[in-house]
C-alpha cells in the first residue's frame, strides 16, 4: 500500500466535490447563529452530519438543503467557498478543482453567489495556490423549465470561471432525459457538461452522452453491468468521476463493504476514472482518505495512481494553455 503521507501530498485534481456538501458543521452552526436560526432535528454542530442517516439519499439531501438555506449573503458565500477550497482542497494536495455548486437551495441570487465564489476563489489561489473553476449543477427534482431558467442565468451572467453545468439531486425523481433541452442550450452557449448517474440503469449513461451531450459522468458505476456501453465509453474516452467513500455508503460503488467492486471493474476494464470526495464532511471523508481507500481496495501502485491523476487532468475543462 502507498503510505498515507504520500497519498496526502499527492498532487490532486478535484472534479466531483460539492460546495454545499463541503461546509464544516461548525461553520453551519455559525451561519445559523448569525441568521437567528436553529439547526434542524434539534441537532448541534457535533451531530449535524450523522452519516448513518445518509443511506437514504433523501435524508442526506434534506441536510444539504439546510446548509444551502443558511447561506444568505455574499460574506457567507465567500466563507464557505474559501474554507472548502483550503480545508478540502489545498490541505490535501489539490492543485485544481472544478467546484460543483447547486444554486437552487442557496439563499442568495445567482449573481451574488457568483460574486462571493469568484472573490473566494481568487483569495484561495493567492493564499494557498489552489486554482479553481465552477460547474453549475441543475436540480433534477425541479422542473425542466426551472433547469432552463438556470441555464439562462448562467449564460446571462457568464464569467470565465464558470466552465460547465452538471445535474444533481435524486436521480429517481428526475431521469436525465427530462433535461435534454436545458443541456443542449448550455452546450450551444459553449458550456461543458456532466451529469450525476449513481443509482440509475446503464441506459441513463447513453441518454447522458447522446441527449445531454456530456463529456464526463459523475459516478456512473452501473456502466459495468453493460459491456456494450463499457466499450462505447472506452472508445469515446468518457471519464467517470468516482467518489469511493460517499458511494460505498449507498452501495453504489460495490457491495458497501469497502471493496468497491464496481470501481475495480471500471479500472480493470480500462475506463477513465477519477477519485473525489463528493461531500467530504457530510460523509466523514476528505480527498486523501478517498484516494487512500481506493488505492487499498484496488491494490493500486503509484504508477496506477499517476495514471488516474493524469486522466483527471485530461478530463478537466481548462483550456490547453492553462493545463500546466
Binding site for ligand HPA (CB under 6 A): 18, 21, 64, 168-169, 196, 246, 278-279
Question: Cβ of residue 320: shortest distance to ligand HPA, in angstroms?
Answer: 30
Residue placing its CB nearer to ligand HPA in the complex, 18 or 43: 18
Question: Pattern 126-165, binding to Zn ion, x per CB under 5 A?
Answer: ----------------------------------------
d(CA 156, CA 277): 31
Q: Which does 21 bind (CB under 5 to 8 A by kind): Zn ion, ligand HPA, none?
A: ligand HPA
Residue placing its CB nearer to ligand HPA in the complex, 60 or 96: 60
Residue placing its CB nearer to Zn ion in the complex, 81 or 194: 194
d(CA 51, CA 161): 32
Contact call for residue 276 and Zn ion (CB under 5 A): no
Question: What does residue 108 show for φ and ψ, rounded to 5 degrees?
Answer: -135, 155
Question: What does residue 175 show for φ and ψ, rounded to 5 degrees?
Answer: -60, 150
Instruction: Quickly count: other Cβ atoms within 10 Å of residue 204's Cβ.
Output: 24
Residue placing its CB nearer to Zn ion in the complex, 101 or 297: 101
Residue 290 CB partners (closer than 8 Å, separation 6+): 243, 244, 245, 275, 276, 277
Buried b (16+ CB within 10 A) or exposed e, 79-107: bbbbbbbbbbbbebbbbbbbbbbbbbbbb
d(CA 322, CA 30): 36
Question: Cβ of residue 246: shortest distance to Zn ion, in angstroms?
Answer: 7
Residue placing its CB nearer to ligand HPA in the complex, 21 or 164: 21
266 within 8 A of 273, measured Cβ to Cβ: yes
Question: Cβ of residue 16: shortest distance to Zn ion, in angstroms?
Answer: 6
Contact call for residue 278 and Zn ion (CB under 5 A): yes
Q: Which does 169 bind (CB under 5 to 8 A by kind): ligand HPA, Zn ion, none?
A: ligand HPA
Residue placing its CB nearer to Zn ion in the complex, 29 or 272: 272
Residue placing its CB nearer to ligand HPA in the complex, 248 or 279: 279
Using CB under 5 A, count the residues that bind Zn ion.
1
Return the sign of the alpha-carbon dihedral for residues 103, 173, 18, 232.
negative
d(CA 308, CA 301): 11
State which residue has the least CB distance to ligand HPA: 168
Q: Which does 98 bind (CB under 5 to 8 A by kind): Zn ion, ligand HPA, none?
A: none
d(CA 324, CA 314): 11
In the chain the first and final C-alpha atoms are separated, in Å, by: 29
**With CB under 5 A as the contact rule, which of the stretches 140-148, 151-159, 272-280, 288-296 interacts with Zn ion?**
272-280
Question: Cβ of residue 80: shortest distance to Zn ion, in angstroms?
Answer: 17
**With CB under 5 A as the contact rule, which of the stretches 45-53, 127-135, 209-217, 274-282 interacts with Zn ion?**
274-282
3-state class of 231 per DSSP? helix
**With CB under 5 A as the contact rule, which of the stretches 114-122, 145-153, 271-279, 283-291 interacts with Zn ion?**
271-279
210 alpha carbon, distance to own chain's centre: 22
Which residues contact Zn ion (rule: CB under 5 A)? 278
Amino acid at each position: 500500500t502507498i503510505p498515507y503521507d504520500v497519498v496526502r501530498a499527492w498532487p490532486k485534481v478535484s472534479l466531483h466535490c460539492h460546495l454545499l456538501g463541503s461546509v464544516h458543521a461548525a461553520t453551519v452552526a455559525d451561519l445559523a447563529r448569525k441568521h437567528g436560526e436553529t439547526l434542524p432535528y434539534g441537532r448541534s454542530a457535533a451531530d449535524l452530519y450523522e452519516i448513518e442517516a445518509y443511506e437514504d439519499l433523501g435524508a442526506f439531501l434534506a441536510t444539504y438543503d439546510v446548509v444551502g438555506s443558511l447561506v444568505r449573503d455574499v460574506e457567507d458565500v465567500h466563507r464557505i467557498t474559501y474554507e472548502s477550497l483550503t480545508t478540502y482542497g489545498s490541505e490535501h494536495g489539490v492543485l485544481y478543482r472544478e467546484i460543483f455548486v447547486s444554486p437552487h437551495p442557496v439563499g442568495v441570487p445567482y449573481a451574488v453567489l457568483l460574486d462571493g465564489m469568484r472573490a473566494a476563489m481568487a483569495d484561495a489561489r493567492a493564499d494557498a495556490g489552489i486554482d479553481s473553476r465552477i460547474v453549475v449543477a441543475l436540480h433534477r427534482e425541479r422542473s425542466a423549465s426551472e433547469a432552463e431558467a438556470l441555464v439562462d442565468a448562467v449564460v446571462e451572467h457568464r464569467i470565465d470561471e464558470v466552465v460547465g453545468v452538471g445535474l444533481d439531486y435524486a436521480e429517481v425523481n428526475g431521469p436525465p432525459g427530462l433535461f435534454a433541452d436545458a443541456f443542449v442550450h448550455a452546450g450551444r452557449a459553449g458550456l461543458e457538461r456532466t451529469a450525476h448517474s449513481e443509482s440509475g440503469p446503464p441506459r441513463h449513461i447513453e441518454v447522458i452522452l447522446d441527449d445531454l451531450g456530456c463529456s464526463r459522468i459523475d459516478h456512473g458505476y452501473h456502466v459495468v453491468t453493460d459491456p456494450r456501453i463499457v466499450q462505447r465509453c472506452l472508445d469515446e474516452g468518457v471519464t467517470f468521476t468516482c467518489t469511493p467513500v460517499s458511494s460505498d455508503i449507498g452501495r453504489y460503488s460495490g457491495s458497501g463493504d469497502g471493496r468497491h467492486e464496481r470501481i475495480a471493474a471500471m479500472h480493470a476494464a480500462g475506463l477513465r476514472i477519477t477519485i473525489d470526495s463528493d461531500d467530504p464532511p457530510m460523509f466523514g471523508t476528505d480527498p486523501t482518505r478517498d484516494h487512500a481507500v481506493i488505492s487499498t481496495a484496488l491494490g493500486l501502485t503509484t504508477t496506477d495512481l499517476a495514471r488516474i491523476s493524469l486522466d483527471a487532468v485530461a478530463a478537466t475543462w481548462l483550456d490547453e494553455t492553462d493545463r500546466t
